[in-house]
A and B are shown apart, each in its own frame.
Chain A
Amino acid sequence: MKKNYLKVTFVLALITLCIKQTFAQNDSIPSSVQQISLTFENSTIKDVLAQIEGLTDYKFYYAEAWLGDKLVSGSYENESVKTILENAFDDTALNFYILNDQKIILTKNNIIYDELPNGFFNEDKEDTSIEDNEITNQVITPVFYDLGNAARPTSLETVRIGKADAGNNKNRFTLQGYVRKQNGEPIPDLSLLVKGKGTGTVTDENGYYRLELAPGQNLIQARAMGIQGAEREVIIYNDGTLDFELSESLEMLEEVVVQADAARNVEEATTGTTQIESEESKNIPLVLGERDILQVAKSLPGITSAGEGAVGFNVRGGKTDQNLILLDNAVIYNPSHFFGIFQALNPFTTKGVEIFKGNIPAEYGGRLSSVFDIETKDGNVEKFSGEASIGPVTANLALEIPIVKEKSSLMVGGRGAYSDWILRSLDEESLKNSSASFYDGIIKYNHKVNERNDLRITGYYSHDGFSITSDSLYNYSNRGFSLRWDKKFNDRNTGSLIVANSRYEFGIDYDGESNNDFNLGYDINETGLKLKLNYFLNDRHTLTYGLSGKIYGANPGKISPEGAESIVQRIAIPKERAFESGVFVSDEFKVSDRFLVDLGLRYSFYAALGESEQRIYEAGVPRNEGSRIDSVQYGDYEIIKTYGGPEVRVSARYFLLPDLSLKASFNNGYQFIHTLSNNTTVSPIDTWKLSDTNIKPQRGNQYSLGLYQNLKENEYELSLEGYFKTSKDVLDFKTGAQLLLNETIETEVLQGEGQSYGVELLLRKNRGRLNGWLGYTYSRSLIKFDSQFSEERINNGEYFPSNYDKPHDISLIANYKFTRRYSVSANFVYQTGRPVTYPIGSYQFNNAEYVYYSNRNEFRIPDYYRLDLGINIEGNHRIKKFAHSFWTISVYNVLGRNNPYSVYFVTDDGEVKALKSSIFAVPIPSITYNFKF
């Protein structure tokens, strides 16, 4: 107890200190000004200052870098130091502030105001008498870009332009400059957007731009195809220049919890995109203090899962297998650990994820609902650095090791759970045999070969193992490898070549008492090649085109005996192979300043390949063993069956007002690979099946329409998006289907139609002490399996809600910063309960009581809601300190709501028992320590 008390006192003391410091500066009033005589000729400012220091008691405080090498001249007789400095600093960005008789503080850009401006406490004073109301207010108000940070030393994240001039009352300043690559090459046709203002420009051939900005804080975003986007917070005091050097690392704003930048929201043509930065998700309280961008994704409209313990995502009413999850361009089949509760991504090495849930760009194919493009950070090429954390479940370490200075770096990340150790050390007999552990590791090498060539290589592996009894061990793992070579051919043409390989596998090791010990395994492997080229035709057209191809190999299941005594028969379902490819071209066409169209076209082609035996079933009768009439053998790599077709990816944006845009899109797609699952939620031992003669690819269409607006200088972002989706040939299964180790899986498969629609509303506050977002989604997800045969029908062939149909979904994420170091955050979720198949009565059979089921998903479990709270404490930012630390204290499910996850019925000792399960039924506190060095 004593300890806790001390800690609290310490925290309070810190807060008090901060406040004192802040006021110390504002409170002091300059005293009289000494007069001196002084002459200098072509001297540096540094020398001038030194001279003044010699003649007076003044001492200057400044950073040498600000002074530059400008030479000044002047001759003064009994002149005040103030005047001398004013003249010397003319044409520089320097301002000064005479603190008292001894100290003069130089500042770059800023004037230190010694009193608060008029109207500071009431910004929207009604009697402001100058015309141009909205903007003028800011002119007379000094630029306080972030009140909480007034005492902060100049931060790299913000660029200050010009010098504040007390007499300046212009309401627009001009910012101009060049955008270059790190090697100095200009970047033409790059769009620079002012977030939320609906203004922007495009660089010319020399990378030159010119922008009109409102005084004060502006967020400028740079975007171009093939170039890493960047943004700068620009605080503009006067006309000035700002050159951009586009580097790989985004400079994010501290205030923004999750960065899906607002102007982009309004500006770009694509509907339904979201970006989440890993670093910025650290304030969001999540279960057991684990940072998890994929969980954060689920708090955004349109992305859900069936429940807390469910693997995978349901994006806009789509199935969990319809998401293309890429980690540095390599497909990750299961990006989560332990039944979806934790992400299988190292939060320190992950830069962020970009999610396409509406219109999917033409370069991506093969999945109907979404693309999760997860990107790993580039390692630091300057100096060795690292980040580590210790939480209640995992320990995590990431290191960035420069190999060739300023050229290449290696990033290594590793993460492991120690729950196994906890389980074993517990004095509980029944748990001794349980185990649950996971780990993941990533390694990335980035090399800037020369000015035109960049190389990135990533390797990834994740593994989960869990056992329920001492005799069976379940495990699954993901492996990913990718190599990406970015090349710039000339000013207009850039390209990327990507080679990727991925593998997902799971296994069950069973070692029991009898003679049936076995080892069961499944794996899928894919190797792909993608060439993507960008051509900046002119100001109005940007073309992206290319082609991709991949080879799949799946071992749909094998079982082998384990141990000499086992008489389990070795069975291996024959390997499946397929080739999937696509050619794509898209044009971002700027029809007018207001109207932007992104026209994309893709042709997807798929071929199921031998060696294989394909069974042929009699048409017009239910497909089962009895209706099989023939089978055909195909040789190695012989084409069995091909599918494919054109895919349209069109979206358009029209500015109704400078900060209000309307977007619409249509896209369609093919999906050639399906998960086989007869569980109500996804399980890690679900297998992936390649389309063949009997199982057709899934097809989908999506229409979306939305309105996007940014309010109050980008502080608020508002969007309303509606969608309607249809899908064909989505998979489901006959009741009680046996999916594992079934060679004739097609006799168990049903292919039906899906339909989903919804409206997504998102209000986001990006800046200020309070930031976060509020999302509301109304959506439905329905599926239909109809056939002329009753055994191939579900719910009489009518549409019924899918397992993840949750019409109402509200989520709120809020973060409030007390000081730079202390913040609290909250996460609230409300969702309609998911549909369940509930029995319609009991019956007796074979001396036991059973329940029986009729229509699927006719009922719902009770609604879900949860509140999580967290406190984040940043260590202090002293430069000299070895490590920067960050504490997160959070409580998951503060309300202790016992949210039902599932309802099910078992027959135990001949008697029916109705059971209700929940995953996190009580509040779960946790504390995580992170540090960076």
Chain B
Amino acid sequence: MIQKGNIQHYFVGLAPLIFIGCVERFTPKTLVFENNLVVDALLTNENKRHMVKLARTYRFEDEEPILETNARVQIKDNLGATYEFIETDTGTYLSSTSFSAVPGNSYQLSIGTTDGASYVSDPVVAPNNIPISNLSAERLVNDFGEEGVGILLDNTNNSSAPTYFRYEYEETYKIVAPNYDPFEFEIIDYTPCDGNFYEVGIKLRTEEQRICFGFQKSVGVAQATTTSLTNNDLVDFQIRFIDRTNYIISHRYSILVRQYTQTQDAYAYYEELGNFSSSDNIFSQIQPGFLLGNIESVNEPDEKVLGYFEVASVDQERVYFNYADLFPGEALPPYAVNCETPGNPLLVGLGYHCDGMGNCDGACESPLIEAILAGIVVFHSVNENRSADQPGPYFTLPSPCGDCTKLGSNVVPDFWED
């Protein structure tokens, strides 16, 4: 129940004062590498095509994993049913039919890879579903003394057995471009280095770029258990804390919380995964080691298989709030980017000159047009008094100031309620 968080930052913060300790980031090198299978499989009580992702471990020097393709994936239940999976995208396998895990039944995942190896999970009994009874957004001061909004969850469990949960969420929030202008730049003539003059004009916007919707998924592991509680209900469990200086709560915000009721074993696996990948204080580290999941190789019992086959029951709940309701009359959080100081890029680069058609030298790209093409600036105003200090024809702003599509989508989500 003790939430793991950014504790290490604070401890380190304390350290310099008394002990001048420090934590530095470094680029790790792979010293010894093992190529192992990674299984990311989740089966829930939802009636849908369930997904299993297969990949390999990878070196620190590599950005992305190599995906495991052409594998044979199936789930069997204790009643004899077999659900086959088909590869719909490289490394991503979907069940060929929709089905749901029934609480009380047990399920077993088996995988055969193209190199002839086969893997099988422990049979996992699908846990009962515990519904979310309440999800709310409240203005509060968190444990670190920061003010903001806490997303708090209650659930009710009618059984006496302790329950285990992990949480994921998706947040959707309204973004209003603070310096929206009905006009946008239009590039009239621009062929770099051709000797012709460059020309930039403005035109009316055709797309919705003032109001958009941002979207973010949770990363990492948030967990809760009722093992140490007197009753098996969670009350005011904080799923998410949004600092009041975060622009995402500026207007209207919505969060969808998915609660996975886990098995005890799955809970322990996720918890340990969290312990190994976070640090509570710089003086003592938890002894890391290989995190044993519930999948093993049939032929090579000592082969390491990473990942987990989780069978969980899902409940989800959505809540909305407006900034004005929680912080009435108070200033909005600062916007995602600084829109205070307009820029004045040159149309033609300094030192660029031509002495005939196509015979130019110097940097011939137009700073203004290149920035427009790269999508990093938007129109702010026309420079009426061009001077040696401000020779550019237009004033510009970082593009998110006038164009919200840089931060979100201008399509109103289906579920959105205003």
Q: Which chain A residues have a beta carbon within 8 Å of chain B's beta carbons?
A: 309-310, 339, 341, 393, 419, 422-423, 426, 429-434, 436, 468-472, 510, 512-516, 518, 559, 561, 567-571, 678-683, 733, 735-736, 741, 790-791, 794, 803, 837-848, 850-854, 856, 858-859, 898, 901-902, 904-910, 912-922, 924
Contact = CB atoms under 8 A, between A and B. Distances in A.
Given A567-B235, A913-B25, A468 B281 contact: yes
Contacts of B286: 678-680, 736
Contacts of A837: 287-289
Q: Which of A515, A912, A917, A922 has the most CB of B within 10 A?
A: A917
A568 B144 contact: no
A-B pairs, top 7 by smallest CB distance, nearest first, are A735-B289, A910-B219, A907-B277, A736-B272, A683-B284, A914-B28, A679-B284
B285 A679 contact: yes
Contacts of A736: 268, 272, 275-276, 286, 289, 291
A844 B36 CA distance: 12
B316 interface: no
B25 A914 contact: yes
B278 A906 contact: yes
A433 B272 CA distance: 28
13 contacts: A423-B17, A434-B11, A468-B10, A518-B228, A568-B229, A680-B286, A735-B272, A845-B306, A851-B277, A854-B32, A914-B60, A917-B23, A921-B20
A405 B130 CA distance: 76
Given A841-B59, A853-B276, A856-B289, A847 B21 contact: no
Given A515-B235, A559-B228, A905-B277, A924 B20 contact: yes
Contact of B17 (A309, A431, A856): A431
B230 A431 contact: no
A901 B19 CA distance: 13
A842 B277 contact: no
B30 interface: yes
Main secondary structure of the interface of B (DSSP, over half): loop
Interface in B6-46: 7-8, 10-15, 17-28, 30-34, 36, 38, 40
Contacts of B21: 309, 901, 917-921
B292 A735 contact: yes
A681 B40 CA distance: 33
Contacts of A902: 282, 285
Contact of A426 (B17, B33, B282): B17
B145 interface: yes
B150 interface: yes
B283 interface: yes
B150 A847 contact: no
B142 interface: yes
Contacts of B140: 513
B38 A790 contact: no
A915 B25 contact: yes
Contacts of A838: 31
A841 B34 contact: yes
Contacts, number: 261
Nearest to A512: B143
A510 B228 CA distance: 14
B17 A515 contact: no
B57 interface: yes
Interface of B: 1-2, 7-8, 10-15, 17-28, 30-34, 36, 38, 40, 55-60, 65, 140, 142-145, 150, 152, 217, 219-221, 227-231, 233, 235-238, 268, 272-273, 275-292, 301-302, 304, 306-308
Given A432-B145, A906-B277, A914 B288 contact: no
Q: Which of B21, B65, B237, B280 has the most CB of A within 10 A?
A: B21
A468 B277 contact: no
A840 B33 contact: yes
A434 B308 CA distance: 38
Given A840-B32, A840-B34, A850-B276, 5 more contacts: A431-B14, A469-B10, A513-B238, A735-B272, A919-B15
A911 to B, nearest CB: 8
Contact of A852 (B23, B233, B291): B291
Given A515-B235, A569-B228, A905 B28 contact: yes
Contacts of B7: 468-469
A513 B236 CA distance: 8
B284 A516 contact: no
Nearest to B53: A844
A904 B287 CA distance: 10
Q: Which of A679, A841, A921 has the most CB of B within 10 A?
A: A841
A550 to B, nearest CB: 29
A559 B1 CA distance: 13
A516 B1 contact: yes
A468 B11 contact: yes
Nearest to A287: B19
Contacts of B26: 914-916
B230 to A, nearest CB: 4
Nearest to B277: A907
Nearest to B59: A841
Contacts of A681: 283-285
A735 B290 contact: yes
B266 to A, nearest CB: 11
Nearest to A791: B292
Nearest to A515: B235
Contacts of A472: 2
Contact of B277 (A419, A471, A559, A850): A850
Contacts of A419: 18
Contacts of B18: 393, 419, 422-423, 436
B144 to A, nearest CB: 6
A844 B31 CA distance: 19
Contacts of B12: 917
Nearest to A426: B17
A906 B38 contact: no
A305 to B, nearest CB: 12
